[in-house]
Structures are given as C-alpha cells and as structure tokens.
Structure 1
C-alpha cells in the first residue's frame, strides 16, 4: 500500500486534466493519470527533471469500456489507497436536437455520465473503508444553463449534476466529499478537437443551418476572451487539499456566476429573449 496521498485524474492527457495532474504531483500526491492512450503521457515530459515527476503514473482507461474500467480497478487495488478522484474525461457533442442521432446521444452519455459513474463505483469501496476521500466531478456552465445547438452536451452535464447531488448525500456519512466544478469557457480542446457536431446540422440543406452558422460565429468571436485553464486546475487542486469540501457546486470563469444568478432571478421569457436576440433569431 502506498503511504503517500493518492489521486486519480481521468482525461489526464490534456486540458484541465493534465494541468491538474501536474498541480497534484507538485502538492505531494502520487497521481494515477488515467487516459485512453498512455503514449500521451508525453505531455508531462517537459517536467521530467522535476523531483515530483516520478509521482505521475500513467494508467490506461477508456471510461466507455467496462473491461477497461475493470482493469483500472486493478491499479486502484494495487495502490491500496485513493484520497481524491477527479472525473475529468469528457467531450462535447453539438447539433440540433431534431438532427442528432440517438446513437450520438448515447455516445455522449457513455463518456460524460456513465463513464463517471463506472469509475466512481470502483473507487468508492476503498474510500468508504478508509473513512475519507473526495470525488471531484468536472461539470460545466452547460450543466446549469441550456444552450441551443448543444443539447447532447448540456443534457449530459445536467445528468452529471443530478448524479453528484445524490452521490454527495449518500457518501457524506462515510467521510467522503463530492464536489462539482462548473467551468465557463476556457482555452481547452473541448471546443476544438474535443468537440463534435452532428453531420446533418452542418449541411446547407438543414433547416437549422443558418442558426448553426450564427452559433459557430459566436464561438469564434468569443475565442479571444477564453479563460486560462490553469484557473480551473488550481481550483480542483485547492478542493483536493481541503480538509472538508463544504459546498457541492463551484462555478468558475468569466461571467459564470452572473449567468447563474440571472437564471435564478429573471423569468424564463426574459432569458429567452436575451439569448435569441444575441443569436439574431428574433
């Protein structure tokens, strides 16, 4: 059994995941950096001269495959300890609801929801026996606010929010904390290589094509104001080191708290007008 603090980070090969791995290793954790392709551990090579570099252990994990999750459990049992689980693996599927294939919705949920559930189930028995542990689920502003053209991603994050609420209440009596980190827009690959748009919504004969073009235009216009992902990694690392995580939700990013507050105050009709006007749909 490893005596050092142990953290598991899924989706560790880039974005919030790789930055969180580095933070936690610096903080003294042995970090199981879980990723589908372990060759991507090369992302950490710039740090190989650092004394904490050897605390990063690459672990193969495809959260959509039950066999892979079972093999991941072997690593957890071998280490014999888990202080922190960061469920970060995910991708964004866009497109208009009428045109998204049901198989695409299922693929979105396999990664963003069922993958989280499967990995968490393998870690909870150990945390419960320890009498302590933290599960930090990386959600999104999209888990609090629905956006047009993103219903697969939005609905998966809303599902993650509900799951995390129930989970926190279930495991709190065993000394386990659950938290949701809810980032706004940041410079990660979730909106580039990590984003997929259903094919039909990109075709010119789609009734939603002009609408999709306007959404794409808004995304491009906002690229210059995207936040530094290190801010999110720092928040995750801060929560990991807290004795107790007092709150469930931690929104982070430019304008995020304002959006959440606006949704709690304004009637839906007012929010609807604002969004559709911005996208030139009224």
Structure 2
C-alpha cells in the first residue's frame, strides 16, 4: 500500500466523518473508527458518493477499552505497518452545573475525551517514533481555551487535552513527530444533540440552576444560524496533515481568535462581567 495512512477516531458523524472523506479524497488510506459498526452507514454512503469507498477502512474501536485499542493497533500494524496521521476526534459533550454533576459522570466524560485520546496515541507513538515522522492532530475546541458556565465536564476535558498536547509536542519534536491542536468554535455538528450530554439535571424544574441553564441554552440557540460548516474544519485538518512543519494551534471558526485574544488580554473581572451580561441580556 503506497498511500499515506491516516487514522481518524469517532467517524460516525460530524468532524470525524467529513475529515475521513476529505483525507480519502486527498489520496490517503483512512482507517475510520466507529464505536458501533451499525452506525457506519452514513460514512460508507458519503464515501460512495465521492468515489472513495476503497480508500476507507472502517474498524470498530472503543477508545475507552484497552482490548479494543490493542486489537485495532494490531490490525493497523499487520495491514500497513505505519501511520502518517493520527486524528483524535472521538468525544462527546457533557453539560450541567458542577453541584449537580456526579463524579461518575465526570469520569465518563474524561474516559472518552481525555484518557481515550491518551490511550490511542500511546498505542501508535512507538511506531511513529521509529518512523521518524508523522502528525498527531488532537481535536480540541475553543472550550479548551475559554471556559463557559454549565459545560464544565466538556470544558475541563478540552483544557486537559490542551496541556497534554503541549507536553507531547515537546517530547516528540526530536523524533520528527508533530503534535497539533485544532480549536474549533461553533459548527453544525451533532455534539450538542439530545442524548449526547452527560448531565441534564440542571434543566429540571426542581433545580436551583434551571433559569441559569435556560439562559445558556437560549444564548447557544440564538447563535445556531451562524454556526459554521464542518467541512471548513475538515479541509483545515487535511491541509495540516500535509504540512512539513505545522503550528501548535489552529483556532478556527467565527469569533474564535477574537474570543481567545480578549480572554487573555482583559482583566478577569471585566471578562466575567461580559460573559454574564451576554447570558442574561434580554
């Protein structure tokens, strides 16, 4: 197999699905992983639509299960023996207020969004190090740089990925392996769709946070029409995958760079005043 090899986790929808197709169209052979094989129909349909079905290898992978990772690792090593690009995309978003989120729910969020990324990356680091080249692209979020109330499980997980990726980039630099963070803003994916969130207690009538949570939902809902096309992110990922010396971070999306800049420049008291006023403005 002479194609470059890419691994993309979490490809049943959203960034993962579109990125797999975009990389295949660029000539990569893509190991597209799904947690449940029955949910790969949309990916296969899109691959056929663009004539790249032969470039997509669908494989079941649960990033929270060590045996599943080992099985997948063995398959990749036996079939192709190398990895040029690893894209850690699998994840979900948990919401709710800290007081009402159980520790079990926090752990569930971190098992996928954080420890899953660690485990999959560790499975392929020896191979990439020995190759002396490769690119690891971790899908973070503006939430990894800018916090927001009511979304602490997701935001904490993305902050963790930010710091870990910095350490990994410094560790792998001498071995020719690049580590990159993509920091998308709001895009039209299904990460916030019903059933994706960890905690919903804060929306219940008996919750002391109900009004606050409704304000957050309204704020997010009012901006939905301006959410970006996820293809923009997929194209950026494919572009970065082909770069010899990619940057550490790529913030992308409407208002993302400005928000990160303002948060870093403004005094915290002013920053929090702006956030709270936006949430509760009529």
* Same fold (TM > 0.5): yes
State how far apart, in whole Å, the 2-side matches of 1:38 and 1:58 are.
8
State how far apart, in whole Å, the 1-side matches of 2:46 and 2:53 are.
10
Question: Is 1:37 matched with 2:36?
Answer: yes
For the aligned residue pairs, the C-alpha RMSD in angstroms reads 1.5
Name stretches of at least 5 consecutive residues in structure 1 with no aligned partner.
Answer: none
Q: How does 1:6-85 map to 2 (within 5 A)?
A: 6-43=5-42, 44-48=44-48, 50-78=50-78, 79-85=80-86
Partner of 1:251: 251
Partner of 2:107: 106
Q: How does 1:132-143 map to 2 (within 5 A)?
A: 132-143=133-144
Number of residue pairs aligned between Structure 1 and Structure 2: 280
1:161-198 per-position Cα deviation (integer Å, ceiling 9, x unaligned): 01000000001110000000000000001111463151
**Does the 8 A contact of 1:83 with 1:127 survive in 2?**
yes
**Does the 8 A contact of 1:84 with 1:240 survive in 2?**
yes
- Which is further off, 158-167 or 76-85? 76-85
TM-score by length of 2: 0.96
SS at match of 2:197: strand
State how far apart, in whole Å, the 1-side matches of 2:230 and 2:50 are.
22
State how far apart, in whole Å, the 2-side matches of 1:135 and 1:188 are.
22
4+ aligned runs moved over 4 Å, structure 1: none
Question: Is 1:89 matched with 2:84?
Answer: no
Q: Give how far 1:203 is off.
A: 1.4
Partner of 2:214: 213
1:138-160 per-position Cα deviation (integer Å, ceiling 9, x unaligned): 00000000100001100000000
Partner of 1:267: 267
**Does the 8 A contact of 2:186 with 2:228 survive in 1?**
yes
Name stretches of at least 5 consecutive residues in structure 2 with no aligned partner.
Answer: none
State how far apart, in whole Å, the 2-side matches of 1:197 and 1:22 are.
29
